[in-house]
Chain A
């Protein structure tokens, strides 16, 4: 019965072809360092899922942001778990993204024909850091407030356009409601849209080009 349904669907959707291309492709003999990309993808999806759940209670307003997170942590069933996964997953994702990049670099896996995979990977690294930066402000506690004050102030040191970038990031001269809301918007819509779009391109290229083998001694 189940097989009949699967055959019926497969005939129309071509799922087996997708499965074979994406998951059953040939790979060279590699080591555990080659799982870092998948680990990062797993964390990205987990972040997306827990992040969506957090928006069920979080309010991006200076008077309510901290209170709403307090509520998630202390009053909502499993709120501590959902936010805990989001909190630690964020840190972990930055680490796996970085290790993934190091592996690619030291194995020379960024070379022809994988240059575009590398470039999208660099953009994904920057987007991940952007997610970390914008997400850090959202609790609106002292640490978040001053970290963002410092972080945005750094842009001010850029010659000529620095002050403008600083104000553009903050939505004004100082941190305010506007800063919180635009960081929230960037954190839940703009950056994730770019991130998951680029993950699509990145994965397409990985599937299309295959993964490189570990360099031999004489290479």
Chain B
């Protein structure tokens, strides 16, 4: 090192070291930055919402008894990654006076267990952490942060249809 001609400034050795570091940095960036996007890609992707805002027919409203919540279950297929997976939904519908309805998701707002209607108590109960919801979806007791989620609905030719976008 001592006999290198230029002690100060840019000598051959420093130049090569600098070039190597620079090119190495570029290569690392070319590989490294896309790698981050690569790993995060599925979580950043737009949710497949197109199929979710279709109207899903649940059943005839004439079959619904006023004041009695009724569970509708159905599955919808969804493309997750390269797989078509079936996702099951549970929807509670309560017919109210004047042809209005309460349409609840049966997914507990606490940690996503499934609630079920208990006829004898007149409450929805989540078995996981003993969450109780009223017939109107309101919180009675338990750890849940908010009332049951609702879906939009409409009545077409006597058939109740819902939209799977939570409101």
Interface positions of A (Cβ within 8 A of B): 46, 49-50, 53, 56-57, 64, 67-68, 70-71, 75-79, 81-82, 85
A85 B31 Cβ-Cβ under 8 A: yes
B31, B39, B82: the one contacting A68 at CB < 8 Å is: B82
A77 B41 Cβ-Cβ under 8 A: yes
What are 27 sample pairs from A and B whose C-beta atoms fall under 8 A apart?
Answer: A49-B35, A50-B31, A56-B38, A57-B81, A64-B83, A67-B82, A67-B83, A68-B82, A70-B82, A71-B81, A75-B82, A76-B38, A76-B41, A76-B42, A77-B37, A77-B40, A77-B44, A78-B34, A78-B35, A78-B37, A78-B38, A78-B41, A79-B38, A81-B38, A82-B34, A82-B35, A82-B38
| Contact flag A53-B38 (CB < 8 Å), given A46-B31, A85-B31 | yes
Enumerate the 9 nearest inter-chain pairs by beta-carbon distance, A residue then B residue, closest first.
A78-B34, A67-B82, A77-B41, A71-B82, A77-B37, A76-B41, A78-B38, A78-B37, A81-B34
- Chain B neighbourhood of A53, CB < 8 A: 35, 38-39
- Give the distance in Å from the alpha carbon of A161 to the alpha carbon of B62 in the complex: 76
Chain A-chain B contacts (Cβ-Cβ < 8 Å), number: 45
How many residues on chain B are close to A (CB under 8 Å)? 14
- Chain A neighbourhood of B31, CB < 8 A: 46, 49-50, 85
B38 A64 Cβ-Cβ under 8 A: no
- Give the distance in Å from the alpha carbon of A50 to the alpha carbon of B81 in the complex: 20
A64 B82 Cβ-Cβ under 8 A: yes
- Give the distance in Å from the alpha carbon of A70 to the alpha carbon of B83 in the complex: 11
- Chain B neighbourhood of A67, CB < 8 A: 82-83
Q: Please name 8 further chain A to chain B contacts, defined as beta carbons within 8 Å, in addition to the given A70-B82, A77-B38, sorted by A numbering.
A: A46-B31, A49-B35, A53-B39, A64-B82, A77-B44, A79-B38, A82-B34, A82-B38
- Give the distance in Å from the alpha carbon of A57 to the alpha carbon of B37 in the complex: 13
- Chain A neighbourhood of B82, CB < 8 A: 64, 67-68, 70-71, 75
Q: In this complex, what residue of A is CB-closest to B39?
A: A56
Query: Taking the nearest CB of chain B, how far is it from the CB of A112, in angstroms?
Result: 32
- Give the distance in Å from the alpha carbon of A85 to the alpha carbon of B34 in the complex: 12
Residues of B54-99 whose CB lies within 8 A of A? 81-83
- Give the distance in Å from the alpha carbon of A85 to the alpha carbon of B32 in the complex: 13
